[in-house]
Structure 1
Amino acid sequence: MTPSGLSRDVRTAARRRVLISGAGICGPALAYWLHRSGFEVTVVEKAGGVRDGGYPVDVRGTAAEVVRRMGLLPRLRDAHIDSLRCTFLTADGREIASVRPSTVAGSVEERDLEVRRGDLATALHELVRDDVEFLFDDSVATLDQSDEGVDVTFRSGHGRTFDLVVGADGMHSQTRELLFGPEERFHRYLGHCFALFTMPNSLGLSREVMLWNSPGRAAALYAVGDHHELHALLTFHRPVPPSDALRNPGTQRELVASTFAGAGWEISGMVDAMREADDLFFDMAGQIRMPHWSSGRVALVGDAAYAPSFLTGQGSSLALVGAYMLAHALATNPDHTAAFAAYESGLREFVTMNQALADNGAATLLPTTARALERRDARLRHLVTLPSATARPAYSALTLPDPRRAAPRVSAPHPLHTTSE
């Protein structure tokens, strides 16, 4: 059965050639929808292949409908992690409360999905690998636009011309920098840094999350199934971003170690594992906020245009929805200027609603003061003001357009629950 979705209007697409920079989640999803609409698609990726592993990611609300239309829902349901509990701990390791993860995330069981990032990326790549061109181990070096197209020079030295270029290359997008300038112009720092890595499952955890807190510091151990490895997270509040640590792994490790020195529970073992990890990923919690997502024949999508931060849990979902909306706009508007305008007008409110969830995530997961932590813990113990196990309005606020309707509908904004201290 052919997945439902965008129409194959090759006359509208006119076999336009599109280069997508980035083969993570957003890039292959966009490639799929563009190919179905008759575009000639090339995807360039700086890595040597599809990246496996990675922290679990969520596919919620409108994004779940995107993967259903792609025909991927059965496969992703098979890959669904289905954690049994999330246990919150005090600074000395005592249990505060143990709840279903969906209660904290505001997701709907049996409808929303949580999968390994690598499983999602692999499924998307396999869906399109025989239909679009992939250029691994390469990236965009220069872009030169004209009325006829975009001349692209790759890091490999090769040059080609495309009708359109789309940057789907993540929060630290090279495409965005080439087009709009340094990331600092668009980065909203959210006051937290984090380190992700894997470590041995010496605690025997299974299908669960353990979350430890002290004021301004948090640690999590995430057991995916009965795997012998744990996904580990160490995150902390820092009012001023540590810019010197971003490109120096040694400085990153020392910063994290010094921040968590003397902490209780299993933190010393996590720090030791972090020092030895060969997959350490360190970054700042932040968002990308831009006044426009395109310029000329080049557009941005996903984290490159509107990264919401891990505090929202919506990065992958926004990437999938953004890919669908951009492809739909290009398929229904032969003129790229009109298409990019339609893409932005149809998606902007949805992005804004989901980026606003960062404050909720910080209040629940990363209280920065003793008073805020006490209040959070009191809510956990009584389970009065935590989100219920129903979807937050932002997750499903956008109704996807279909081939018979060019304009999407965004639900009227609902008051978003916020907690501040």
Structure 2
Amino acid sequence: MRILISGASVAGPVLAYWLTRHGFSVTVVERAPALRKTGGHAVDLFRPAMNISERMGVLARVEERAVGTKRMSLYREGARRPVRVDLSKVFGTAADRHVEIMRDDLSEIYYDAARDDVEYVFGDSITAISPDGEVRFEKAAPRRFDLVVGADGLHSTVRRLVFGDESRFSAFIGAYLGVMTLPNYSGLDGELHIHVGVGRTAGMYGARHLGDARALFLFHSEHELDYAHRDVARQKQLLRGAFAGLHADVDRWLEELDRTPAFYFDSITQLHMDTWSRGRVTLVGDAGYCPGPAVGGSTTLAVVGAYVLAGELARAGGDQERAFPAYERAMAAHVRGSHAFALSAAKTLIPTSRLGVSGLVHGARLISTLPAGPSRAFVRLTTKGARLFDAMTVDDDYSSSPATRDRVGLAGDHGSGLGVE
């Protein structure tokens, strides 16, 4: 059975790995000419995604490339001295197992896991998908596939071709995200510097193995801003306007905008769809149910979604009429939880009042100073869905299903289930 996946970032390579292990023939098409190595930003893998990575045999590489941010200096706008925060305690309140890694590094690790068993086609993209499985491409000749999966992100081409314009499903949650690469002139290694003001938060972090640093910008907006998706000059202008005068450090970061080798800017938008599947086509990760970049655990959700989709297809013997609804049922609660968590996290990370700024600063300090038990209790009382990702459970049979054993003999190769016991 031939399956085409669009997108080679995170969900695509994870899905390709598990589909090949279940005996399917997989092709991945990616618009970029090669794996993206454009700087990227740090993403979080929580326990379910780490367990899946362990089953893929790549956890050691993931941990080796971890950013390792352990300390945070949190500056409130107008304050002279920062609040020092132990980030390992903060992360510990949310998950028993967690790692932070650059998205580009994670994508490469997942790609390497099955690159010899998967056909990768770089520098091309899908232009049409017919109901009988014929797929047309920008460059390559048409080909026929049994199934097509959109793993091509928030602005998915597959979703647009099959389900319609993105505006039908997107919900702006009142914030924007910017990321840039810049020199690590502060020598940051395992440390995050954050500046917080009303409606805006900016941070810079670095690690020795990166060789450079990243600056992250989050700001509130009551309405969607006027700019073109590919108009980088306009996006940089908006970022400068939003953060002017926050702090001298932030002004210095913004001076690097015209020299940065890598820049990303987008609205923080959620996707809400009644179904992620139609005919031979389904969606996975941000393409189908993005909870919001940087605030909703979208990377963990994408890894879990890819694993579940592959498992349900194996369990159904490739019958999408059984597999796709089962996949959607299995993921529904995870998606709803991630969407709700993202809304709460955005309000916390981008406070819209002085009281909110004060609450963020003092809350971070309190979590950092309390012992582990009380700090977790405090987070549970004050933060909706604080341990959402640790509570995710995934069917233990997916990596050793009868279909898998029959096709590729994986029975007994993997450990226990995911999520809390």
TM score, norm. by length of structure 2:
0.87
**2:45 equivalent to 1:50:** no
CA contact (8 A) 1:29 1:324 kept: yes
Indicate the residue corresponding to 2:343 in structure 1.
359
Moved more, 174-183 or 54-63: 54-63
CA contact (8 A) 2:291 2:339 kept: yes
Cα shift readout 1:150-204 (whole Å, capped 9, x = no counterpart): 1100010510000000000001100000011111111111111121111111122
Cα shift readout 1:320-363 (whole Å, capped 9, x = no counterpart): 11011000110011321110000000111112112211133223
CA distance in 2, matches of 1:186, 1:338: 25
CA distance in 1, matches of 2:98, 2:365: 26
- Say which SS state the counterpart of residue 258 (structure 2) adopts: helix
Select which of 113, 116, 124 maps to 2:99: 113
Q: Measure how far apart 1:215 and its partner are.
A: 0.1
The count of aligned residue pairs is 391
Q: Which consecutive segments of 4 or more residues in structure 1 shift more than 6 A? A: 409-412
Q: Measure how far apart 1:24 and its partner are.
A: 0.7
Change (3 A) 1:95 1:351: farther
Indicate the residue corresponding to 1:395 in structure 2.
390
CA contact (8 A) 1:141 1:153 kept: yes
Indicate the residue corresponding to 2:409 in structure 1.
none
Change (3 A) 1:374 1:65: same
Indicate the residue corresponding to 1:77 in structure 2.
63
Indicate the residue corresponding to 1:324 in structure 2.
307
Select which of 346, 352, 357 maps to 1:368: 352
CA contact (8 A) 2:27 2:121 kept: yes
Indicate the residue corresponding to 1:200 in structure 2.
183
Change (3 A) 1:195 1:78: same
Q: Measure how far apart 1:287 and its partner are.
A: 1.2
Indicate the residue corresponding to 2:286 in structure 1.
303
Q: Which amino acid aligns with 1:62?
A: P
CA contact (8 A) 1:57 1:114 kept: yes
Give 5+ residue unaligned stretches, structure 1: 1-15, 413-421
Select which of 272, 277, 281 maps to 2:264: 281
Identical-residue share of aligned pairs (%):
36
Moved more, 44-53 or 310-319: 310-319
**2:18 equivalent to 1:23:** no
CA distance in 1, matches of 2:182, 2:229: 22
Q: Measure how far apart 1:378 and its partner are.
A: 3.0
- Say which SS state the counterpart of residue 275 (structure 1) adopts: coil
Q: Measure how far apart 1:319 and its partner are.
A: 1.0
Select which of 119, 129, 151 maps to 1:133: 119
TM score, norm. by length of structure 1:
0.87
Aligned pairs for 1:207-286 within 5 A: 207-225=190-208, 227-286=210-269
Q: Which amino acid aligns with 1:20?
A: I
Give 5+ residue unaligned stretches, structure 2: 368-374, 404-416
CA distance in 2, matches of 1:386, 1:102: 14
- Say which SS state the counterpart of residue 227 (structure 2) adopts: helix
